[in-house]
Amino acid sequence: MMSLDNRPVYAGGCQCGAVRFRVEGTLGDASICHCRMCQKASGNFYLPLVSVRGAKVDWTRGEPKRFRSSNAAWRGFCADCGTPLTFEAPDGTALAIAAFDDPAGIAPTIQWGIEAKLPYVDAIPQLPGEDTSADISSAPYLAELVSYQHPDHDTEQWPPKERS
């Protein structure tokens, strides 16, 4: 998507939809960080982030709650559902790549914090893989699953009327 003056526009938000953002302008470096702080902040093996230092970021619904993880940085997340959203440092802000509505187009180009990389991370691509419905007989609830996750586009109202 493009803005009126032909600048790229991106949108995204948390899983529950309470917090939504809009980025107008060119995205900066996309990275993953293996450092122990990024592991804890994401509850994950590493945290994928893209710099929005050179772009304009608006919070179009709600706003992240922030935890000051060091004297230099704040970590923003949705206070309702916990989705990690920002890394905010004196030299600029970065957003969590997977929180974007279309993360497939934001490929990381560098890894940081590799001294803390977990020992099995490099072996993950070699693990056996199955799609979500491969074992539906042992998880029959999947056949009637109703997602309460916010969709990957902006919405007029959230949650939908029938659920609010």
- Positions touching Zn ion (CB under 5 A) are 14, 16, 18, 33, 35, 38, 78, 80-81, 113
Q: How far is the CB of 73 from Zn ion (least distance, A)?
A: 9
Contacts of 92 (CB under 8 A, 6+ apart): 28, 51, 52, 53
SS3 115: helix
Complex with Zn ion: residue 7 or 66, whichever CB lies closer: 66
Complex with Zn ion: residue 25 or 106, whichever CB lies closer: 106
**How far, in Å, CA of 46 to CA of 18, rounded?**
24
Q: How far is the CB of 95 from Zn ion (least distance, A)?
A: 14
Q: How far is the CB of 146 from Zn ion (least distance, A)?
A: 18
Q: How far is the CB of 61 from Zn ion (least distance, A)?
A: 10
Complex with Zn ion: residue 25 or 113, whichever CB lies closer: 113
Complex with Zn ion: residue 7 or 73, whichever CB lies closer: 73
- CB contact at 8 A, 53 and 96: no
- CB contact at 8 A, 27 and 50: yes
Other CB atoms within a 10 A radius of the CB of residue 151 amount to 11
